[in-house]
Structure 1
Amino acid sequence: MHMYIHVCTEEGFIHKCSCSYNEQFLETYSGHNGPVYRVMWHSLFNDLFLSCSSDWNICLWHQDKSKPLHTFQATQKQESVKAGSQSGRRKTGTDDRLVDHSSQEAVWSIDWSPHDPTVFGCVRGSRIEIWNMKHNVLDPLIVHKPLSGTRQTFIKFSHNSDVILVGDYKGEVSVFITKNTPPCPANKMQAMSDVLASLESSKK
């Protein structure tokens, strides 16, 4: 359990705070150029967290470093995931079209996959993205835009299945099932360690 509180700000900073030192910030993380909406800690690597912002970016951080380990921003052309969705009493069909969206939209929410330590999801504008850092840190593995085209504001992985819950600004929740994704690594700790080593070596 973390002994600190990490606070998102409208200025793009993330402040590390403690109730024991309430007169100053213990650390300030600088990597975003707009309001930061959410911070999510990694379940296995307790020093790692993700942040998302209105500046279109997702940052991966180590809590002992004030600059991000990596910044994720999707390119403009991606392929939609084949997925069914059920929202309330309304059921939508499968959307298998190629999509060509601008990545220059705010990232409202992020979540780590509880099944694969190298995977996280986010909602960017009206689309859903699933990233697999083991396979690619430049583009998401999956991009899906629901037929409704509604701005998505929240994403959450299920701990018991391959289901992802996504909420939108209208208050509706959609249920998605991921299919044909790469298998989870046998050694989860080693898989994430390899990703971190690769990110570190790419900066040299």
Structure 2
Amino acid sequence: MRADARKNHDHLLEVAGAAITEQGIDVSLRDIARRAGVGLATLLRHFPTREALLDALLRTNFDELTAKAAALETSSSPDEALASWLRDCVAWTTEYRGVVVLMAAAIDDPESALHASCSTLRAAGARLLTRAQAADKARTDIDGVDLFALVSALAWLGDQRSLASRADHLFDVVASAILTSAPSSDAGAERDPVARN
């Protein structure tokens, strides 16, 4: 990609990210184009569908969360690694309002532009869960699918303005239900899942 095209591409992603944070994933593509100071045709040249735009926007974040899971596998105890990753995952999914609905649908749709990234992210969480289970630090009657569903549920709570003040407490409740010896709620507390809303 030429330097000017890359600059336009990155600018569109930056504007789209801000718009989705403010208005949610249903913000109109026309509004994103207007905010970016381009025509809708220009936006669609870079991102022919809403899903293509979201995939480009979210892929970096998915990759960072997947890489964090891999790093935690070698740097933290199994229970602390799982709790820290869960907190970061929930915090990130509440940053872009409504994205959790799209992620849940993409997991079941191999044709979705988001399917591969969501599946990789779910697998990373499943590895952390399996590691914690092997160390007798997490209950054994849940799997990666259940874990992804719980992340989705917690992220949905963060999207609900009337419930957002309860998000930290409910995260701790869910984490203590998953982990057989829940680490301190300070694990990963530097990223508050409500603070970005």
- Range into which the TM-score falls when normalised by the shorter chain: under 0.3
Which is richer in strand? 1
TM-score of the superposition, structure 1-length normalised? 0.27
The structure whose residues are more often helix, as a share, is 2
Q: Which has the higher contact order (CA 8 A, sep 6+)?
A: 2
TM-score by length of 2: 0.27
